[in-house]
C-alpha cells in the first residue's frame, strides 16, 4: 500500500500479503499475528530481534538512578527497568533519506 500520511497497521500488512502472495485475508492476518507473536516472545525472553535490511529491536537493562522533578527540583529515585530501542539498519536509513 502506498501512502503519504498515516499509520501502517496489522491489517495493512495482511492486505499486502494477501495481494502479493495470494493467501486469503484470514491466512494473511494469521501470518502477521504469528510473526509479531514470535518477535514479542523473543523480546520477553530477553533476546534482541534483528531483521536484516530493516533494523534491530534491542533490549537494555537500566540501573536504578536518581532523577529530578523538573518543576520542583526534588530528587526522586528512578527504578531499574528494561527498555527496548529500535535501531534502523543502514539500508533502511538510506531508503528513508531517498524518500522511497
Write the class of the CATH domain 48-99: few secondary structures
pLDDT tens per residue, range 26-84:
999 999 999 999 999 999 999 999 999 999 999 999 999 999 999 999 999 999 999 99
* Contact by Cβ (8 Å): 59, 82: yes
Q: What pTM, to 2 d.p., does this model score?
A: 0.76
Return left, alpha or beta for 8; rule: phi > 0 is left, psi -120 to 50 is alpha, else beta: beta
Pull the grid cell for residue 96: 528513508
**Gap between the Cα atoms of 91 and 60, Å rounded:** 23
Where are the domain boundaries for CATH 4.10.520.10 in the chain? 48-99
Q: What is the chain's alpha carbon radius of gyration, rounded to the nearest angstrom?
A: 19
Amino acid at each position: 500500500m502506498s501512502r503519504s500520511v498515516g499509520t501502517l497497521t496489522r491489517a495493512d500488512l495482511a492486505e499486502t500479503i494477501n495481494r502479493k502472495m495470494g493467501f486469503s485475508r484470514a491466512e494473511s492476518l494469521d501470518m502477521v499475528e504469528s510473526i509479531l507473536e514470535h518477535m514479542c516472545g523473543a523480546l520477553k525472553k530477553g533476546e534482541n530481534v534483528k531483521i536484516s535490511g530493516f533494523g534491530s529491536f534491542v533490549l537494555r537493562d537500566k540501573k536504578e538512578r536518581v532523577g529530578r522533578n523538573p518543576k520542583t527540583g526534588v530528587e526522586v529515585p528512578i527504578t531499574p527497568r528494561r527498555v527496548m530501542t529500535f535501531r534502523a539498519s543502514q539500508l533502511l536509513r538510506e531508503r528513508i533519506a531517498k524518500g522511497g
